[in-house]
């Protein structure tokens, strides 16, 4: 992934510490999930033999490598999952940069990443990250990673990409993809990357609209009350996400959900479960409105091709409805999915984004990019 290597075959060893990719290591990777109104808590049940249907699956087969990237500007050791593009003409290629939502982590894009690289025949690489206070990203130099404000998250992504691809002139073109909170992060990162002379072929926002998100905020405390405080096992956490309809794809849940929980220091002491949430969503409350306020305007102002992917047709706010009628962005609805549409139906989303990339990365003379007037 070093910018000096045109074909980006590997991540630079001087920047990154290679992680053990064996099955046991990757099975322990952590990822989160958004709350649900469904109340079904395996954490309240005594320990039992794990159901084979909910046994964790390693994420090792979905990306070429999983590494830690030292990002001094953010004082973070950021976990990155990466499959580099495979080009035959010596060009740096294209990389899809994926940013998860609140409580999730990079492995939520695992199945989607494998589908996308396959459909593009390896021409489109995928880089998925764990944000601060999520997954395996950790603070360094004794610093704090508590601040989850939008400005800080945008700085983190921008700083990471400048470490991974230090020379914009030979860096791959970037297609930024963000789910929920991550949608706000990638949209607001676009102008910074363009200012630094990186090539940004497009930005895609997954199932988040400013108006809907802001309207839902008053209901979030009640939603969070429905979540169990912890789990007796990782398998219990996977089962809860499936039975509570958090994730509708059991294979994806078995890959991604283990990243949501972390062992508790004193399991079962005074009723404490063996596994707790990696990112307690209640603690992120002060940042919720800041994530989404102004999202629609920032999305429409992004100087690149724009794509909005939704799980339902009734989620556009007024600003986006006007923008859609004016042809400022492409919108796609993925049917029979929930909020985690990239996990629920990774195949359909991969087809959508690979087609979007092809249309906007390889524009034929005389054909306008999506969003161009």
The residues carrying an active-site annotation are: 180, 207, 339
Q: Cα 198 from chain centroid?
A: 21
């Amino acid at each position: 992934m070093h910018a000096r290597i045109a074909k980006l075959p590997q991540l630079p060893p001087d920047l990154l510490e290679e992680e053990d990719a064996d099955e046991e290591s990757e099975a322990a990777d952590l990822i989160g999930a958004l709350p649900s109104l469904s109340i079904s808590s395996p954490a309240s049940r005594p320990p039992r033999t794990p159901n084979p249907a909910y046994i964790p699956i390693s994420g090792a087969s979905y990306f070429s490598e999983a590494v830690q990237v030292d990002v001094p500007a953010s004082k973070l050791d950021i976990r990155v999952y990466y499959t580099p593009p495979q080009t035959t003409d010596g060009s740096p290629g294209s990389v899809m940069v994926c940013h998860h939502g609140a409580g999730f982590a990079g492995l939520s894009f695992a199945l989607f990443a494998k589908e996308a690289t396959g459909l593009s025949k390896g021409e489109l690489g995928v880089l998925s990250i764990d944000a601060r206070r999520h997954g395996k990203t950790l603070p360094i130099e004794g610093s704090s990673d508590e601040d989850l404000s939008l400005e800080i998250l945008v700085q983190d992504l921008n700083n990471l990409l400048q470490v991974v691809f230090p020379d914009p002139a030979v860096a791959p073109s970037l297609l930024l993809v963000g789910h929920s909170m991550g949608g706000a992060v990638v949209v607001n990162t676009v102008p910074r990357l363009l200012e630094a002379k990186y090539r940004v072929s497009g930005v895609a926002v997954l199932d988040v609209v400013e108006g809907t998100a802001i309207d839902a905020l008053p209901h979030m405390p009640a939603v969070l009350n429905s979540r169990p405080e912890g789990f007796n096992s990782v398998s219990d956490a996977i089962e809860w996400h499936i039975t509570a309809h958090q994730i509708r794809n059991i294979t994806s849940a078995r890959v991604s959900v283990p990243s949501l929980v972390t062992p508790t220091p004193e399991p079962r002491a005074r009723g404490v479960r063996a596994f707790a949430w990696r990112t307690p969503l209640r603690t992120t409350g002060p940042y919720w409105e800041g994530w989404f306020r102004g999202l629609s305007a920032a999305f429409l102002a992004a100087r690149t091709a724009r794509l909005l992917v939704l799980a339902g047709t009734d989620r556009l706010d007024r600003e986006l409805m006007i923008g859609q009628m004016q042809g400022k962005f492409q919108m796609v609805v993925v049917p029979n999915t929930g909020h985690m549409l990239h996990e629920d139906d990774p195949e359909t989303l991969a087809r959508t984004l690979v087609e979007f990339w092809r249309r906007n990365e390889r524009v034929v003379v005389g054909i306008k990019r999506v969003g161009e007037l």
